[in-house]
Amino acid sequence: MQTQQSFDPSFYYGYVADNLLKNFGPKALEYADKALIKMKTIGDAEGFDIWLSIHEQLTCRATPEQQAVKSPLH
């Protein structure tokens, strides 16, 4: 479980999302999906929460074409 923070990390998640999109384009959403699956598989709740926030930022920033290629989140 993620602990309460005295700052809003959304800026940093957005920064990571921007860099992932810049470096990987449409594949960024796929990589974020894989990271979520990995975090869930290994039982890393904090890592899962972080990647979920990054995935959320990616989805907001992705173009409609990029969103169409993402895999479904389970």
Per residue in 10-65, pLDDT tens?
899 999 999 999 999 989 999 999 999 999 999 999 999 999 999 999 999 876 66
Q: What would the two tokens of residue 65 be?
A: 């074409």
- The more confident residue out of 69 and 45 is 45
Q: Helix/strand/coil (H, E, C) string of 6-63?
A: CCCCHHHHHHHHHHHHHHHCCHHHHHHHHHHHHHHHHCCHHHHHHHHHHHHHHHHHCC
pTM: 0.75
CB neighbours of residue 33 within 10 Å: 18
